[in-house]
């Protein structure tokens, strides 16, 4: 996340605040009709390509950066492209950009989301094997659209925070959406991934040994802990690899990486390993909670990625075995501590390169160089100050105070 990158996020939602039942490929658009029709046409083409197993047409629906990653995948695994057997658009409406940070639905590093379109939709899927957020039945997604060479293209398809979206009044009010909120809440608080029937299809609970390794010197009496929360830290995060070193090490383009290992091999690539310890602690929390959030709300859970995050600046830079002892020490020092909104919901803890100054107050974007600025003398601020400085009352935290929880 060191590079601010301008992309366009589109929620598969095509009418501002108005839910539409959509006839197969024939939704009626009443708001910003010409642009909406253009976006919808691309979405329709993507859906049709999935059903026809038409890889070239599918790839052509996406922005250039995604086309490259998809073509690289096809060159390696052409027979493993689609897991969905059927794909049908059933609900769609446009969402205002103001809600996007709170539901964790952004692809771009453009904090203002300028020029982006957001569409929230229900997609009826059929699969041979159900996985996390890939269920037989209606799956709810956000589609991200970029204006590329004056043409709308898909930038991503995201699993948003359903509870925050529904509680904010932007849901469809369907029984499947209610079930999705229930699955999401149980997943975050138990680590168990269930389908609509209540079957457990994946166990993301960490082992005691895993938690002990991460916590290092932390104790339950640490003064930074302000609340106990029913949150389960996921054991692993599924990463899609674009760096050859990661592909060679794991022997595949994706793998379930233990979350503690993942954060150890992310932090030194996002923060400088020799920066002050309080800066590194703030970074450790931001990197950990960003990955944690996306385990439960994947950014790339669609063909061909089927992953929670990527290993590049689209998310966080991950290079296997790049860990540095001072960074790991900072991770240990905030091990067992998480951050969430005041209402208990975890959120997407954005961070970026930033500048060595005071910029970013309550922005929802932690400035990496900004944390060094605050940690350096004569300011000598601690990580707690930085977490609240950047994330309190921000769009990302739903304009709420941020608090800590212990796990």
pLDDT at position 79: 85
Q: Across residues 258-270, what is the average pLDDT?
A: 98
Confidence of residue 116 (pLDDT cuts 50, 70, 90): confident
CA count, 13 A, side-chain hemisphere, 183 = 29
| pLDDT the model gives residue 117 | 93
Q: Please, which pLDDT band fits residue 271 given cuts at 50, 70 and 90?
A: very high
- pLDDT at position 88 is 96
Mean of per-residue pLDDT scores for the chain:
89
Helix (H, G, I), strand (E, B) or coil at 137: strand
Of 330, 328, 329, 334, the residue nearest 406 (C-alpha): 334
The torsion angle over the Cα atoms of residues 164, 169, 171 and 176, rounded to 10 degrees, is 70
337 close to 218: Cβ distance less than 8 angstroms: yes
- Going by pLDDT thresholds of 50, 70 and 90, the confidence category of residue 36 is low
Within 8 A by CB and 6+ apart from 364, the residues are: 101, 111, 350, 390, 391, 394, 395, 396, 397
Angle 51-56-58 from CA coordinates, rounded to 5°: 45
Look at residue 12 and tell me whether its pLDDT is greater than 80.
Answer: no
The per-residue pLDDT for 57 is 98
Output 374 or 228, whichever has higher pLDDT: 374
Helix (H), strand (E) counts: the chain: 13, 14
The stretch 129-151 carries a mean pLDDT of 95
Asked if 156 and 22 count as a contact pair (C-beta separation under 8 A), the reply is no
pLDDT at 82: 95
Nearest by Cα to 106 from 181, 11, 177: 11
Is pLDDT at 379 greater than 90 in this prediction?
A: yes
Determine the pLDDT at residue 6.
38
pLDDT at position 1: 66
Give the mean model confidence (pLDDT) for residues 56-62: 98
Work out the average pLDDT over 339-352: 97
Answer for the pair 147, 8: CB distance below 8 angstroms, yes or no.
yes
Share of the chain above pLDDT 70, in %: 87
- The class of domain 20-194 in CATH terms is alpha beta
**Sequence ranges of the domains in the chain:** 20-194, 204-406
Predicted confidence band of residue 35 (pLDDT cuts 50, 70, 90): low
> pLDDT-based confidence at 228, cuts 50/70/90?
low
Confidence band of 108 (pLDDT split at 50, 70, 90) = confident
């Amino acid at each position: 996340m060191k590079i601010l990158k301008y992309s366009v996020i589109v929620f598969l939602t095509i009418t501002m605040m108005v839910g539409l039942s959509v006839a197969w490929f024939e939704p009626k658009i009443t708001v910003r009709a010409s642009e909406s029709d253009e976006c919808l046409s691309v979405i329709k083409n993507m859906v049709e390509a999935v059903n026809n197993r038409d890889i070239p047409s599918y790839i052509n629906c996406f922005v250039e950066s995604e086309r490259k990653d998809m073509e690289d995948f096809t060159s390696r695994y052409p027979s493993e492209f689609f897991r969905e057997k059927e794909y049908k658009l059933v609900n769609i409406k446009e969402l205002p950009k103001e809600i996007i940070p709170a539901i964790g639905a952004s692809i771009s590093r453009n904090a203002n989301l300028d020029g982006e379109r957001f569409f929230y939709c229900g997609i009826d899927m059929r699969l041979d094997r159900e996985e996390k957020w890939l269920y037989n039945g209606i799956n709810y997604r956000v589609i991200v659209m970029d204006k590329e060479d004056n043409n709308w293209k898909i930038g991503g398809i995201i699993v948003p925070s359903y509870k925050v979206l529904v509680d904010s009044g932007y849901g469809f009010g369907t029984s499947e959406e209610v079930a999705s909120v229930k699955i999401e809440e149980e997943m975050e608080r138990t680590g168990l991934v269930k389908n609509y029937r209540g079957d457990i299809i994946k166990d993301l609970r960490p082992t005691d040994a895993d938690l002990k390794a991460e916590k290092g010197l932390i104790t339950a009496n640490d003064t930074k802990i302000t609340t106990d929360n029913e949150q389960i830290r996921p054991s692993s995060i599924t990463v899609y690899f674009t760096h050859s070193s990661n592909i060679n090490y794991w022997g595949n383009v994706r793998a379930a990486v233990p979350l503690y290992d993942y954060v150890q091999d992310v932090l030194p690539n996002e923060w400088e390993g020799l920066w002050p310890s309080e800066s590194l602690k703030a970074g450790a929390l931001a990197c950990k909670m960003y990955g944690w959030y996306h385990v439960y709300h994947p950014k790339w859970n669609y063909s061909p990625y089927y992953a929670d995050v990527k290993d590049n600046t689209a998310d966080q830079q991950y290079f296997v075995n790049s860990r540095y002892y001072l960074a790991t020490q900072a991770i240990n020092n905030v091990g067992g501590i998480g951050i969430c909104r005041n209402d208990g919901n975890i959120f997407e803890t954005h961070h970026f390169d930033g500048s060595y100054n005071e910029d970013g107050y309550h922005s929802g974007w932690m400035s990496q160089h900004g944390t060094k600025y605050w940690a350096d003398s004569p300011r000598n601020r601690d990580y707690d100050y930085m977490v609240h400085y950047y994330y309190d009352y921000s769009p990302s935290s739903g304009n709420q105070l941020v608090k800590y929880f212990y796990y």
